[in-house]
Structure 1
Amino acid sequence: MQTNEQIAKDLLDIQAVTLSPNKPFTWASGIKAPIYTDNRLTIGYPEIRSRISAGLARLIMTEYPTVTDIGGVVTAGIPHATSTADRLGLPLMYVRAKPKDHGAGKQVEGHVAPDAQVVLIDDLISTGGSVLKAAEAVQKAGIKVLGVAAIFTYELPAAQENFAKAGLPLHTLTNYTTLIHQAEKANILTATERESLLTWREDPWAWK
């Protein structure tokens, strides 16, 4: 089984991803979605956690060969960034959601050399807003961001547009399309549910 298929299967097996096209979830943004993802669950499964860090390490060395530092996005990206940095033997930093309101007021934490080339790690990409804000904070600190690596992406058109606008590449271990395929193989979805899920991905705001 290829890495993208295995990770998708892992997420389904531990219910880090729940598919519910008939009883949709409401995201914080107000979007009604037939899927809910909580990749924080992955840190509780050593074998899966190890597969993720190994996959991210391979992905980063393939797609970002000049990387010198790994960055974790608060909060869910930090444990995976930590284990990936350990595998690669690279320095680690993390990015707060906003600057501290006391002390030195830092948003980027950790020792990073001025000539560092950082890859940011997050657990999940929906529209890309949070990780791209983190990338902007790193860039404002005078540090070069090569791009982003993540466990899973919904493959939403908005994410593609936002990453293109930011001029940053995104690479993930698995994605929405692969996840649906694995769910079909496991007989989790009917054909009608599959079509509903694919329709949602094309235009989440208009989906019913």
Structure 2
Amino acid sequence: MLKTPLIYVRPNPKEHGMKNQIEGVLRDNQKVVLVEDLISTGGSALKAVTAIRKAGGKVDHCLSIFSYGFAKAIEQFENEGCQLHHLLNFKALILLAREHKSVSNEQFSLLQSWHDDPFNWGNKNGFADKPD
């Protein structure tokens, strides 16, 4: 197939056996492209970037299938010197949904407002956690 090496990065090192966080062969200064299914805040992907770099790998790019495109994630990747690429992002998805009439203009606006402030949107729109 591609004849390209593959490594797997766990969120945390194993607690038993070799206690590896990275499985597979990673050579010093070996270039790595991190592939993720989803980027939201970027926390787990950046944790993997840190682990790969600590093990001697060189990660300058991360590719995701989908990204919410949150400013927080974009900023964090820039700060770490890792370019973020995606196949599809939230803005493109909702534009396609509106174009194909899968969402109304009102729903589109609601989705945009959520994306503009996702971490406070619930509280601002009456979805605050209620005590039991």
TM-score category (smaller protein)? 0.7 to 0.9
Measure, in 2, the Cα distance between the counterparts of 1:206 and 1:111.
42
Question: Where does the alignment leave 5 or more consecutive residues of structure 2 unmatched?
Answer: 126-132
Scaled by the length of structure 2, what TM-score is found? 0.87
Q: Tell me the secondary structure at the aligned position of residue 187 of structure 1.
A: coil
More helix by share: 1
Scaled by the length of structure 1, what TM-score is found? 0.56
Measure, in 2, the Cα distance between the counterparts of 1:170 and 1:156.
12
Superposed, which structure 2 residues align to 1:54-203 within 5 Å? 86=1, 88-203=2-117
Structure 1, 126-135 or 112-121: larger mean CA deviation: 112-121
Post-superposition offset of 1:113: 2.1
Measure, in 2, the Cα distance between the counterparts of 1:174 and 1:93.
24
Post-superposition offset of 1:198: 0.8
Pick 1 or 2: higher relative contact order, CA cutoff 8 A, min separation 6: 1
Post-superposition offset of 1:105: 1.0
Identity %, equivalent residues:
43
Q: How many residues align?
A: 122
Post-superposition offset of 1:157: 1.1
Post-superposition offset of 1:94: 0.6
